[in-house]
Structure 1
Amino acid sequence: MAELKNRQWLLAARPAGMIKESDYRWNETAVPPLKDGEVLLRNLAFSFDPTQRGWMSMDTYVPAIPLGAVMRAGAVSQVVESKKSGFAPGDLIQGMAGWEDYTVTDGRGMLGLQKLPPGTDPLLALSLLGITGLTAYFGVLDIGLPATGETFVVSGAAGATGSVAGMLAK
């Protein structure tokens, strides 16, 4: 395969207050060759979530993004090349990726690599069927446990997760 150029957004500084352009740095580099057990993904769409602000600053449920590393996000990607069993070029994947054209990964990590079932709208994988929907689903049905006749309050109902939680509670 010909050498691919990868355009990336790197975390340049820990934000102080509102995020600004200088918190990021643009980078262009070659895509590294694959090792056994890895896949090369072409990133098609990213999820932009409030949790990313925390990842830029501190360890949360995942380690903070190191300074100089590629900014991370939930993504829908397409397999370009694979040296990992079970994944073939053309497969659509949901998982964690960097803010970059291409991501090389072994699929380990917070989300792993999940193949999208044929016919699944890739954008639904980043919203209703992704972290937003899963957070709302388990928050309402495993933690909130609404009962008929009760009032169910969602403090963040104006956001994506809160909107889904409100619909589920109804």
Structure 2
Amino acid sequence: MARLILLNKPYGVLSQFTDRGTETARATLSDLIEMPGIYPAGRLDRDSEGLLLLTDDGRLQARIADPKFKLPKTYFVQVEGEPDEAALGLLRTGVMLKDGPTLPALAEQIDAPALWPRDPPIRYRANIPDRWLKLTIREGRNRQVRRMTAAVGLPTLRLVRWSIGDWSLADLPIGEWRIA
């Protein structure tokens, strides 16, 4: 029987079990979970937080990670600036990026979600407002959400993936995991 693990990945942790990239060791999944034979089903950037799914089933891994299955991924995104209806409208109809147009997203401005504090905290600038968006996409391009918000004039300050398909962080604490 396939194992599926839900992990609340902290900021600064690589979505892999080893770090081959630099001379100084960076935090990896092996710092959070010791379970042989599991692999991430998709990626979450080092500077992003939230839900990462891991499994020991290659077909399930492919189904979760492969964009052709178009599993919805919902993110809470703290952006710099004031979203207006024009910016939200662009996100909802699709944004033109360097690698082509995105699929339409579900996008709405929300109140700040009840999340754990980020370590390190985001930069704060008294004279520049920030707001939260809830953004749901059905693709998985490299740094897509960050590129989408930047394309509409709203640079991302904090990015938290809340759900993938029917799997959600719910009450899973940062750095912790559970079997689905």
TM-score (norm 1): 0.25
TM-score (norm 2): 0.24
Choose between structure 1 and 2 for higher RCO, CA contacts under 8 A separated by at least 6 residues.
Answer: 2
Structure (1 or 2) with the larger CA radius of gyration? 1
